[in-house]
Amino acid sequence: MSKRNPRDPNQGPHGFVIVDKEPGWTSHDVVAKARGILGTRKVGHSGTLDPGATGVLVLGAGRATKLLRFITSLRKVYVAEVTLGVETDSLDADGDVTVTHDMGEITLAQIRAAAAAFIGPIEQIPPMVSAVKVDGRRLHQLAREGKTVDRKPRPVTIHRLEVSEIEGESTSSVFRMEVECSSGTYIRTLGADIGTALGGGAHLRALRRTGIGSLTEDRAQALNDDITVVPMLEALTDYPAITVDPEQHILVTHGRAISEDLVDPNVHGAGPWLIVSEEDELLAIHERADGKIKPAVVIVSSGS
């Protein structure tokens, strides 16, 4: 039996892997290990998790790497523990303490009132310890050199923000928050901003991502040799699907637009839509552009 060639993108599986990331691993570490397990170099991830964070990290393998942006754009859900009264340079427990405040008298009701002001569309300034690029360099690279640069605010949306006490916690200065948010939201920044709104400061003591769209932590797996690869169509159920007949099937595999008659205008007006064959094979993902429903990604092409 011949061995797999990890440099051949046609070898190895095509699908998604829902990983429960361990603390201490970077997202790049997870991808590197997955390449060895899956036997292919064609592996990527749908959105970075901080090294200290745990939880759902979705990997794409083979042809699914072309679809990762559709996973990335889904809403995220996080559970975080926030410590009031202590600011760090990384906005989490991995950083060095920069400022302390006396916030021992802050009540849960005050925290909830401050947090409520962040629900809806807001702007965030990316933390210095992040993967955002400024003038071609990652912010975390500049931070390691002791540099701080101006960062432009970015629009994000907090869809849900629930604050609660942590059972068994000995101090009222630590609270739990569950956040449902748009892609690109920094939970470290949110925690720090709530601390500032309360007249002091804060940092994240712990962070766990519990879901990306319908891909929730109950489906996440430890990264080992028995890991399951989820079919592309199964992992993308957050998007509406259109089943095409054999005639439209041929057009789709040639990268052509599909008929407007196939689309319900009340569902995802601009898309994306999963284009599926009568045999339940994902053929492509289409979006509305220039007044037509065109392919954003073709999975099965006429030359396949």
Active site residues: 50
Report how far residue 145's alpha carbon sits from residue 30's, in angstroms, rounded to the nearest whole number: 26
Tokens of 29: 């570490």
Helices 108-116 & 187-197, crossing angle to 10 degrees?
120
SS3 237: coil
Q: Check if the beta carbon of residue 237 is closer than 8 Å to that of residue 214.
A: yes
User: Residue 31, Cβ neighbours under 10 Å: how many?
Assistant: 19
Strand-pair partners of 76: 181, 212
Contacts for 143 with CB less than 8 Å, ≥ 6 apart? 89, 90, 128, 129
Q: Contact 271/258 with Cβ under 8 angstroms? A: no
Q: Produce one character per residue of 194-227: b if its CB has 16 or more CB atoms within 10 Å, e if not.
A: bbebbebbbbbbbbbbbbbbebebeebeebeeeb
Tokens 């092409």: give the residue. 301
Counting Cβ atoms within 10 Å, is residue 193 exposed (0-12), middle (13-18) or buried (19+)?
A: buried
